[in-house]
Amino acid sequence: SAAGCEAGWFVEPTVIGDVQPHFSCFQEEIFGPCVTLVGFADEAHALALANDSRFGLGAAVWTRDVARAHRVAQGVRAGIVWVNAHHRNDPSSPWGGFGHSGVGRENGWEALHEYTETQSVVVCLDDTPFDWFGGAKRYN
């Protein structure tokens, strides 16, 4: 335990190896300085592993192949995908997860829509009767 952290949970930066996909450390969101290591056979297998979770807040793709980076990022079910970086956030970029990783979006225009409920109001200021359908018979 770290000094000053005796009353709560604290984990020093940790790499968890030899992880199987069914392990809770792989299936749950760990909000701490932890990373789990799971091997994969190919790109399709890596995507299947990445998407085998109820959560999808963020993901990182590490590659020098730009085409692969875009292909994998598009295939990952996560609210944000970093390529060759982690946890870099632009305030204009929407932030929020997929699945059980929260509801809605923070940041960007999407955040404004989260706080907006649209309503239309149509006001007629003319006393003249108005027939929207121009006298046409609406129903048989």
How many CA atoms lie less than 13 Å away from 45 in the CB half-sphere? 6
CA angle 115, 103, 109 (to 5 degrees): 40
pLDDT tens, residue by residue, 35-60: 889 999 999 999 999 999 898 888 99
* 105 Rama class: left (phi>0) / alpha (psi -120 to 50) / beta: beta
DSSP state of 18: S
pLDDT band at 100 (very low <50, low <70, confident <90, very high): confident
pLDDT tens across 117-126, in order? 887 888 888 8
Question: Which of 15-24, 75-84, 98-107, 122-131 is least confident?
Answer: 98-107
Residues 58/79, Cβ–Cβ less than 8 Å: yes
Contact 82, 88 (CB under 8 A): yes
Q: What is the DSSP letter of 7?
A: T
Provide the pLDDT for residue 1. 55
